Amino acid sequence: MTAAVGLASTRFTVRAPHAEGVWLCLFDGEAERRVEMARSVWDWWVEVAGDLTGARYGFRAEGTWDPPRELWFDPAKLLVDPHALELDRAFVYDPRLSEYGVDTAALVPKAIVPGALVEASPAPPMFAVGGLVYEANVRGLTMLHPDVPQDLRGTVAALGHPAVIAHLKKLGVSAIELMPIVAWIDERHLPPLGLSNAWGYNPVVPMALDPRLCPGGVAELRAAVAALHDAGIGVILDLVFNHTGESDIFGPVLSLRGLDNEAYAHAPDGVLINDTGTGNTLDFANDAVRRLVLDSLRHFVRHCGVDGFRFDLATIMARGPGFDANAPIFAEIAADPWLADRVMIAEPWDIGPGGYQVGKFPANWLEWNDRWRDDVRRFWRGDAGVGMLATRIAGSADLFGPCADVDCRSVNFLAAHDGFTLADTLAYEHRHNYANGEDNRDGHGENFSWNNGVEGPTNDPAVLARRDAFARAMLGTLFASAGTIMLTAGDEFGRSQAGNNNAYAQDNAVTWIDWKDRDVALENHVAALAAWRAGQAMARFPDDGVWLALDGGAMDGARWDDPATAGFEWREPARSWGLVIDRASPYAGPLESPLSLRSDSS
């Protein structure tokens, strides 16, 4: 921790290997007091008399300003502590943050010196492979929830409200996965468009909670985690360690860029590597970067009690510069007593060379499986056969290996925060992203979606019936699949984003879930599927089952290869249970289906 309070003094330490001078800046209101720091190899330190708990501070660093040589020292820039845990306000983009010589003390949040932090009680993660992960944006989930008090809406505290927890319990959620709650800054092209980042995938420092989402800081997150744990629900944080909001060479100077720009990966000619598509890439071959990441993970486990993490563009974490399945970060996490047993979920790709690495992460990590999403959509759309669908349902052995005797590492999902919602997958053939201000160029062009006869909203009962039937069938496929499954908040009751498949800049009704007009019948269907799945062992897929055609005959090679084959049955004699897929109905789910599932899907 950078700011450490002792018995009679507070010690500050910050890494700035190439700085010629560093100052601690303490703030009392707008008044700033600068304290010169001393060098100790790569770090700078100073000890200030007194217990400074609650004090606001930042740093300034002096040295060479030569951006073409990737040197960004400017004493006019107030720099946020990379190890900050709490900030006094949110980041706000301003072009002056990039201008040499312009003082930014009035523009940049100040870190807050933390007092003694309460340690969470050591306990195994409240999540097991095969469970249901519920991906949620804190603001999107709670801003319009009628039962959550107005002053709690849009905050982490709202997650502990009984109404929110009751909904999660109804769905059988094993763990809620929170989209980023660490402080972020808007991308510089958004403010001129009147837009703001709604998702948070543009952090500045890795531990500081965003005051807009978590105004109560560490204590608020710890209390929400405890409330969810009391309900038997784990908490997984979605963290962004692949880049920071300092962006490319035209981006702001906020923290690492002004202190230790070597935290970013560079090509041999000195140019920033951009394997993330955001302008910069954190360099995991750098020991200091990995230490910062490990400190962040330990903090969230040790002081907040979280159960695990999902890593955005996780391929970056194993680069140096190429992907290495034996990258140091994996061994360091595995050897850490606070982290070794936590749930680790990789988004196993980035946009750099060799960036798609599904199936290549450590054996005890879970991985998002976009192949599951795409192949399931293509099957129900009618342009893929049953063979690949069976592979996906059985745990994607082609990607992760057989899972009859070991837990399947696949995280299966129909939709995620980026891309179409489930409802929009069945209502739009094309993206409709004009509200993002990029002339509909952003977002994926191919979504394997189909509109069932009408593009967008309709009152046609036949079209609505088809969409509903396919939604139920696709959800049935999800809940019948081996491995961990993920449901994005609102997909259980037909949430739409009006065809926007990249709604990162829509902090408004596009991404705020409409609780009043949700499809309760579909929600009840999902709850019934969850109740059925809860009675099965879904972490593995037994190898003693029998695959049958829908007419009861054997699934021979001809039927597997025939594009016209509408589905199959799978039965496991040892447990007397099974599943059925029938594209003609359409239906997917338990073979011996409860009436609540069969009748509603017909």
Q: Residues 408-435: what's their mean pLDDT?
A: 98
| Per-residue pLDDT reduced to its tens digit, 88-113 | 999 999 999 999 999 999 999 999 99
pTM above 0.95, yes or no: yes
Q: What is the mean pLDDT of the chain?
A: 96
Q: Please state whether beta strands 577-582 and 308-311 pair in parallel, antiparallel, or not at all (unpaired).
A: unpaired
Determine the average pLDDT of the residues in 240-267: 98
Query: Any idea where the domains of the chain sit in the sequence?
Result: 3-112, 132-141+169-534, 546-601
Burial of 71 (0-12, 13-18, 19+ CB in 10 A): middle
Torsion sign, CA atoms 249, 250, 252, 258: positive
Q: Indicate whether 602 pLDDT > 50.
A: no
Burial (CB count <10 Å: 0-12, 13-18, 19+), residue 584? exposed
Q: What is the pLDDT of residues 174-209, one digit of tens each?
A: 999 999 999 999 999 999 999 999 999 999 999 999
Give 595's pLDDT tier (boundaries 50, 70, 90): very low
- As annotated, the active-site residues are 312, 347
Give me the mean pLDDT over the 148-175 stretch.
98
Mean pLDDT across the stretch 580-589? Answer: 96
Token pair for 252: 């702001």
Per-residue pLDDT at 577 exceeds 90: no
Can you read off the two tokens belonging to residue 57?
Answer: 């501070």
pLDDT for residue 592 = 77
The CATH number corresponding to 132-141+169-534 among 3.20.20.80, 1.10.540.10, 3.40.50.10860, 3.40.50.12780 equals: 3.20.20.80
Contact 571, 581 (CB under 8 A): no
User: Beta strands 484-488 and 410-413: pairing type?
Assistant: parallel
Question: Does the pLDDT at position 573 exceed 90?
Answer: no
Q: Is the pLDDT of residue 597 over 70?
A: no
CB atoms within 10 A of CB 200: 23
Model confidence at 601, in pLDDT bands (50, 70, 90)?
very low
- Contacts of residue 57, defined as CB under 8 A and 6 or more positions apart, other chains included, come to 3, 12, 24, 25, 26, 27, 81, 110, 111, 112, 113
* pLDDT tens-place string over residues 497-554: 999 999 999 999 999 999 999 999 999 999 999 999 998 999 999 999 999 999 999 9
Least confident of 117-126, 347-356, 361-370: 117-126
Q: Is the pLDDT of residue 600 over 90?
A: no
- The gap from C-alpha 484 to its chain's centroid, in whole angstroms, comes to 15
pLDDT for res 572: 87
Domains 3-112 and 132-141+169-534 share a fold: no
Q: What is the mean pLDDT of residues 341-363?
A: 98
Distance of alpha carbon 434 from alpha carbon 442, whole angstroms: 9
* 1 confidence band (pLDDT: 50, 70, 90): low
If you count them, how many residues does the chain have? 602
Q: What's the mean pLDDT in 278-286?
A: 98
**What residue type is 39 in one-letter code?**
R
User: Cα(188)–Cα(110) distance, rounded to whole angstroms?
Assistant: 21
Q: How far is CA 50 from CA 8, 245, 342, in A?
A: 5, 34, 37
Q: How far is CA 447 from the centre of its chain?
A: 20
Q: Which CATH number fits domain 3-112: 2.60.40.10, 3.40.30.10, 3.30.230.70, 3.40.50.2300?
A: 2.60.40.10
Angle between helices 386-393 and 370-381 in degrees, nearest 10: 140
Query: CB of 393 within 8 A of CB of 376?
Result: no
Report pLDDT for 389.
98
Q: What is the pLDDT of residues 303-326, one digit of tens each?
A: 999 999 999 999 999 999 999 999
Contacts of 510 (CB under 8 A, 6+ apart): 435, 497, 498, 500, 503
pLDDT tens sequence across 25-72? 999 999 999 999 999 999 999 999 999 999 999 999 999 999 988 899
Quick: pLDDT tens for 425-463. Answer: 999 999 999 999 999 999 999 999 999 999 999 999 999
- Least confident range from 115-119, 157-161, 197-201, 281-285: namely 115-119
AA identity, residue 439 = D
Q: How far apart, in Å, are the Cα atoms of 401 and each of 231, 360, 372, 398, 430?
A: 34, 11, 14, 6, 34
Buried b (16+ CB within 10 A) or exposed e, 386-409: bbbbbbbbbbbbebbeebeeebbb
Q: What was the pLDDT predicted at 42?
A: 96
What confidence score (pLDDT) does residue 596 get?
Answer: 54
